[in-house]
Amino acid sequence: MDEELLKKIKEKYEAQGEDPNVYLKGLLHQKPVNYWEYIDVETLLSLQRTKTGYHDETVFIVYHQITELVLKLMIHELKVLTGEETPSHDVMVDKLSRLNRYTSMLINSFAVMTRGMSYDDYNEFRMSLAPASGFQSAQFRLIELYCTDMKNLIHDSVKKDVPQDAGTRELFDYLYWQQAGYDRKTGKKSLMLRQFEDKYLDEFVELAERMKTRNLDVRSAHYNPDNPEDKKVINALRVFDRAYNIDWPIVHLETANTYLAKKGAKKRATGSSDWQKYLHPAYQRRKFFPKVWSSAELENWAKDRL
Q: Which residues bind ligand HEM (CB under 6 A)?
A: 63-64, 67, 113, 122, 133-135, 137, 140, 177, 180, 252, 255-256, 259-260, 269-273, 275, 279, 284
Write down the least CB distance from residue 304 to ligand HEM, Å.
19
Write down the least CB distance from residue 180 to ligand HEM, Å.
5
Q: Which is nearer to ligand HEM, 223 or 275 (CB)?
A: 275
Write down the least CB distance from residue 290 to ligand HEM, Å.
18
Question: Which residue number is nearest to ligand HEM in terms of Cβ?
Answer: 271
DSSP structure class, residue 175: S
- Report the residue count for the chain: 306
Write down the least CB distance from residue 76 to ligand HEM, Å.
17
Instruction: Return phi, psi of residue 86, to 5°.
Output: -65, 130
- Count CA atoms within 13 Å of residue 260 on its CB side: 21
Residue 156 CB partners (closer than 8 Å, separation 6+)? 285
Q: Which is nearer to ligand HEM, 171 or 233 (CB)?
A: 171
Q: Which is nearer to ligand HEM, 129 or 218 (CB)?
A: 129
Q: Which is nearer to ligand HEM, 95 or 126 (CB)?
A: 126
Write down the least CB distance from residue 293 to ligand HEM, Å.
19
Q: Is the dihedral of CA 189, 193, 195, 196 positive or negative?
A: negative
Can you give the C-alpha Rg of the chain in angstroms?
A: 23
Q: Which is nearer to ligand HEM, 186 or 294 (CB)?
A: 186
CA distance 238 to 56: 36
State the DSSP H helix or E strand holding residue 188, giving kind and residue range, or none if neither: strand 188-189
